[in-house]
């Protein structure tokens, strides 16, 4: 309750500073022009939501597969997993998107840009998430494995009953950060002409020449997606709280 009050007062302060700044630079607002394009915003918003949700789900699957590679007994598979992580983390998403869409997907005859876009985004995010998964698993003390093994539990049961539930709590905060990044990174899909929220806002800007009137709603719409997400994760974290 108290936190909410603080939050609102900080918001009010931030808003008044912004309004003062706009007034100071003599900015002429043109909200009417932007309002004509509200369908562009809602269309883009919906596209951003479903693209993010799909990429998010796919990235978890990719990350799971890659954490198996990273934890494999075979050096070759481990190297493969490491190679993927380093390649993806070390290069800009923009370059990956352009290369995957205009070179790799083209050569395989895949022309659906939404499919390729979601896959590229998931591939990008999956590298980070698999590292988060691995760190989470490694954070569980060896003694937990010992205690479970001497009971006669199978590796599969040790993972599903003991290790993963504990690791889940550890990975939640970095995972939340990664999910929020993914939603924001989806704006880069505009480079392969996917008409998501950011591209549509940019279009509105180029039609109306009202940059801030186009981009301020954009910022709010992203917050509308990311804020509930961090709240959900915070709730989960609280629910799973215990000490190790």
Partner 1 sequence: MKLKVRDLHFDINNDHILNGINIDFTDQILTLIGPSGSGKSTLLRLLVALEKPLSGTIEINGELISSTQNLIDFRKKIGVIFQAFNLFPNLSAIENIILPLIHVHSVAKEVAVDRAQNLLKRFNLSAHQNKKPMSLSGGQKQRMAIMRAIITKPEVLFLDEPTSALDPEMTGEVLELIQELKNEKIGMVFVTHEMRIAKKISDQIIFLNHGKIIMQDEPKNIFESADPIIYQFMKKVSD
Partner 2 sequence: MFKMMSLFCVLIFSGSSWSKDLIVGMELSYPPFEMTDRSGKPDGISVDIAKALALSLKRDLRIENISFDGLIPALKTKKIDLIISSMTSTPERAKSVAFSTPYLKTGLALLLQKKSKIQKPEELNNSGITIAVKKGSTGHLFATQNLKNANLLVIDKESSCVLEVTQGKADAFIYDSLSIYQHHKKHTTVTRAILESFKEEFWAIAMRKNDQELMEQVNIFLKVYKENGGMDRLGDKYLGDQKKEFKKLNIPFYF
What residues line the site for partner 1 (CB under 8 A)? 143-144, 146-154, 157, 161-162, 165-166, 169, 240, 242-244
Is 203 near partner 2 (CB under 8 A)? yes
Q: Which does 62 bind (CB under 5 to 8 A by kind): partner 1, partner 2, none?
A: none
Is 114 near partner 2 (CB under 8 A)? no
Task: Give the whole-angstrom CA distance, residue 21 versus residue 6.
Answer: 23
Nearer CB in complex with partner 1: 28/243: 243
Nearer CB in complex with partner 1: 82/149: 149
Candidate list 6, 23, 28, 142; residue touching partner 2; CB under 8 A: 28
Question: Token pair of 63, please?
Answer: 């990350």
Q: How far is the CB of 50 from partner 2 (least distance, A)?
A: 19
Q: How far is the CB of 45 from partner 2 (least distance, A)?
A: 15
Is 184 near partner 2 (CB under 8 A)? yes
The closest of 192, 33, 232 to 97, measured between CA atoms, is: 192
* N-terminal to C-terminal alpha carbon distance within the chain: 30
Nearer CB in complex with partner 1: 79/160: 160
Name the DSSP class of 37. Answer: T
Q: Which does 144 bind (CB under 5 to 8 A by kind): partner 1, partner 2, none?
A: partner 1
Exposure string (b/e) for 29-65, b if CB count within 10 Å is 16 or more?
eeeeebeebeebbeebbebbbebbebbbebbbebbee
- E strand or H helix that includes residue 180: helix 164-185
Question: Token pair of 84, please?
Answer: 């993927």
């Amino acid at each position: 309750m108290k936190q909410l009050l603080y939050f609102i007062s900080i918001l009010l302060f931030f808003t008044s500073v912004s309004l003062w700044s706009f007034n100071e630079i003599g900015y002429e607002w043109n909200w009417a022009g932007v309002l004509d394009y509200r369908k562009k915003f809602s269309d883009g918003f919906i596209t951003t939501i479903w693209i993010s949700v799909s990429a998010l789900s796919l990235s978890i699957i990719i990350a799971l597969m890659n954490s198996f590679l990273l934890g494999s007994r075979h050096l070759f598979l481990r190297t493969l997993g490491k190679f993927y992580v380093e390649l993806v983390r070390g290069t800009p998403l923009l370059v990956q998107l352009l290369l995957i869409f205009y070179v790799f997907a083209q050569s395989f005859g895949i022309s659906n840009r939404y499919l390729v876009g979601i896959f590229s985004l998931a591939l990008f995010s999956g590298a980070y998430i698999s590292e988060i998964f691995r760190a989470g698993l490694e954070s569980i003390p060896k003694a937990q494995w010992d205690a479970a093994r001497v009971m006669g539990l199978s590796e599969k049961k040790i993972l599903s009953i003991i290790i993963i539930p504990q690791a889940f709590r550890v990975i939640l905060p970095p995972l939340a950060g990664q999910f929020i990044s993914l939603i924001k990174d989806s704006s880069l899909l505009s480079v392969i002409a996917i008409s998501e929220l950011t591209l549509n806002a940019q279009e509105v800007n180029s039609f109306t020449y009202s940059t801030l009137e186009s981009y301020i709603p954009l910022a709010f719409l992203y917050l509308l997606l990311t804020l509930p997400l961090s709240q959900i994760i915070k709730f989960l974290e609280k629910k799973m709280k215990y000490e190790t």
